[in-house]
């Protein structure tokens, strides 16, 4: 695909989603089925208004059914599904367009996701793309009947083990997804959509309190800190502000954030996207909190040379005002969390360090933990 975007100074090639692959393969299979002829390419219009010309692979044609595959191309995005084959088998039926998943396509097992429990994990936009594409082909060939479509991905079951699907209650394979049909390299929107989907699943399951973790360190800490809550955590990565917004819009009453000091210290400066490409501010925030606590300059001037927050804490720990410094940081984190949600929900944070274990809890954290524990039990 010859479409590019810029991320900073890098020119990156876009790709297309598994949804586009499924819709393109279904359109090609239907065209072969109605024309009786094999084809090598198919043109598909994506929801983004960008046309794709897709190569058709693994063609099979009989009197009643046709099948083919399209290879997923994620462009320069590090997508785990890049290069896999997405197949569509299309058969004639009496009326309508019936879409189901076969080998390697996951099954939804929990409420709150794009599809109801029991359905194949083929999201609504790809389903609409498939239906529109097949309706177009039927009109071209004067066909008044319907189609039965089965989407498969032979490598899907193995790939799905490395995705969020298992923790989201999607079993047995990958999801066919995409809202625009186009993959933009390192797309923030894709990550936020995943957070929203998982949080929505928790809300649909009846949970009134949202637990957010920042990454693998957080999940490991949570297993020791409150193992009974581990299964309900939604990983928000660096997108803390977006995750808080999602929690508010979905109607959660309380939101608890658990994360490593290396990420959550940035909240003390109001930084809500903690990826280093957006902002750092770790050492500056610690210096500011240390200065407010009365830690002397001769210690504070050593902080900018530290590579990690743990190293900085080791220096600050030498002074009696260390605990006061952490309290100031705690209050700043609590302030910015509350400001982000505009006091619409209760918020709390638990911050830990690999070397210093549990470092701080905001004032409302224990009460939220107790409520979550009751809700879980």
pLDDT at 276: 77
Closest by CA to 87, choosing from 126, 51, 59, 46, is: 59
- Kindly give the parts of the chain with pLDDT less than 70: 7-8, 186-187, 377
Do 39 and 56 meet the contact criterion of CB atoms below 8 Å apart? yes
Residue 162 neighbours by CB under 8 Å, 6+ apart? 80
Q: In which residue are the tokens 């210096």 written? A: 287
pLDDT in the model for residue 341: 97
Report whether 84 contacts 153 (CB < 8 A).
Answer: yes
Q: Comparing C-alpha atoms, which of 256, 257, 290 is closest to residue 368?
A: 256
Alpha-carbon torsion (224, 225, 229, 232), positive or negative: negative
Instruction: Let me know: does 110 contact 168? Beta carbons within 8 Å.
Output: yes
- For the residues of 183-204, what is the DSSP string, one character each? EPTT-HHHHHHHHHHHHHHHHH
Answer whether 182's CB lies under 8 Å from 3's CB. Answer: yes
Q: What torsion do the CA atoms of 288, 292, 294, 296 make, to the nearest 10 degrees?
A: 20
pLDDT given at position 288: 97
What integer pLDDT is reported at residue 376 of this predicted model?
A: 81
Position 113 scores a pLDDT of 84
The pairing of beta strand 254-260 with beta strand 346-353: parallel
Q: Looking at residue 168, what is its pLDDT?
A: 79
Q: What pLDDT shows up at residue 7?
A: 66
Residue 231 · residue 274 · CB < 8 Å? no
User: Quick one: tokens of 246?
Assistant: 């999602």
Check: CB of residue 337 under 8 Å from CB of residue 188. no
Cα–Cα distance between 323 and 344 in angstroms, integer? 30
Contacts of 133 (CB under 8 A, 6+ apart): 23, 24, 26, 27, 30, 44
Report pLDDT digits (tens) over 97-118. Answer: 999 999 999 999 988 888 999 9
Instruction: Note the pTM of the prediction, 2 decimals.
Output: 0.76
Contact between 369 and 226 under an 8 Å Cβ cutoff? The reply is yes
Tokens standing for residue 243: 């995750």
Given the structure tokens 């890049």, which residue do they identify?
82
pLDDT, tens digit, 9 for 90 and up, residues 256-267? 999 999 999 999
């Amino acid at each position: 695909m010859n479409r590019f975007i810029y991320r900073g100074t890098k020119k990156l090639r876009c790709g297309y989603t598994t949804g586009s692959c499924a819709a393109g393969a279904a359109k090609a299979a239907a065209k072969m089925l109605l024309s009786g002829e094999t084809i090598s390419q198919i043109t598909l219009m994506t929801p983004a208004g960008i046309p794709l010309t897709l190569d058709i692979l693994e063609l099979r044609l009989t009197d009643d059914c046709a099948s083919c595959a399209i290879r997923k191309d994620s462009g320069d995005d590090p997508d785990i599904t890049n290069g896999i084959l997405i197949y569509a088998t299309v058969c004639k039926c009496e009326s309508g367009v019936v879409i189901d998943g076969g080998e390697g396509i996951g099954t939804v097992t929990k409420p709150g996701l794009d599809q109801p429990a029991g359905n194949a994990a083929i999201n609504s936009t790809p389903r609409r793309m498939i239906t529109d594409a097949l309706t177009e082909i039927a009109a071209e060939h004067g066909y008044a009947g319907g189609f039965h479509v089965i989407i498969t991905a032979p490598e899907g079951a193995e790939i799905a083990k490395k995705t969020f699907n298992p923790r989201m209650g999607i079993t047995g394979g990958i999801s066919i997804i995409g809202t625009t049909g186009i993959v933009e390299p390192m797309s923030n929107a894709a990550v936020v959509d995943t957070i929203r989907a998982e949080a929505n699943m928790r809300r649909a399951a009846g949970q009134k309190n949202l637990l957010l973790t920042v990454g693998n360190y957080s999940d490991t800490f949570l297993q020791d800190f409150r193992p009974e809550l581990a299964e309900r955590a939604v990983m928000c990565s660096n997108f803390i502000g977006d995750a808080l917004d999602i929690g508010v819009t979905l109607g959660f009453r309380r939101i608890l954030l658990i994360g490593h000091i290396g990420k959550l210290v940035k909240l003390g400066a109001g930084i809500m996207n903690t990826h280093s490409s957006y902002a750092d501010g770790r050492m500056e925030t610690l210096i500011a909190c240390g200065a407010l606590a009365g830690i002397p300059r001769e210690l504070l001037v050593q902080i900018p040379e530290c590579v990690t927050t743990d190293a900085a804490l080791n220096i600050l720990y030498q002074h009696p005002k260390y605990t006061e410094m952490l309290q100031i940081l705690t209050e700043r984190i609590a302030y910015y969390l509350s400001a982000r949600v505009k006091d619409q929900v209760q918020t709390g944070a638990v911050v830990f360090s690999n070397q210093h274990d549990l470092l701080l809890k905001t004032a409302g954290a224990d009460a939220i933990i107790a409520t979550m524990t009751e809700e879980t039990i």
